[in-house]
Amino acid sequence: MNLALFDLDNTLLAGDSDYEWGQFLVDRGVLLREEYEAQNAAFYDQYKAGTLDIHEFLGFALRPLARHAGEELERWHARFMDERIRPMIGEAARALVRRHLAAGELCAIVTATNSFVTAPIARAFGVAHLVATEPERVAGRFTGRVAGTPCFREGKIERVQAWLARLGHRLEDFPVSSFYSDSHNDLALLERVSRPVAVDPDAALGAAARARGWPVISLR
């Protein structure tokens, strides 16, 4: 059995689900537009530049979850899926995932975006396993804090290894391990798999992929 790992934002999706979730809440009047958009844009620029402080960002991104009841969040998320996410899912991305699933590979979406936002997206792709940043819950409500290690940069390796260990596997056990990503922030995990694939890569990842002879593909 082989292993196939997929980054989500700007890889399988033609956009960033974390960013769009914030903008969705702004458009619904849940968050103050001027304040939130400025912060959200600044964090997104830091992410693209490779300078993001993940803990600072998550304190910002998870705060809205702690302010609202789960039932209300779920209703909003259903609208979010229809209005923002499904238009970002292209047929090429669906076909890529289907090929790996049809081949009987162990597949997972591996993303820094929190699991509240991304679990329904993983289901939309038919992927049973999600390795994501986990928002903390106490008595069924979000606290606004992170549970465990954020699934970001080197943290993706830690989280993937922990997930595989729960299934009785190690990353090194798979004859072929693939990881698809668009971002230089994922270089640590790309370097650990046997088949790294750059997908519509940013400039830094594109340069690294060309220098190392990695496949470069487009899903757009």
The catalytic site residues sit at 7, 9
Residue type, 164: L
> Are 186 and 52 a contacting pair, CB within 8 Å?
no
CA distances from 9 to 72, 104, 115, 122, 174 (A): 24, 24, 13, 12, 25
Among candidates 109, 129, 105, 96, which has minimal Cα distance to 1? 105
Work out the widest C-alpha separation in the chain, in whole angstroms.
50
CB burial of residue 209 (10 Å; 0-12, 13-18, 19+): buried
The residue count for the chain: 220
**Residue 104 to residue 98: CA distance in whole angstroms:** 10
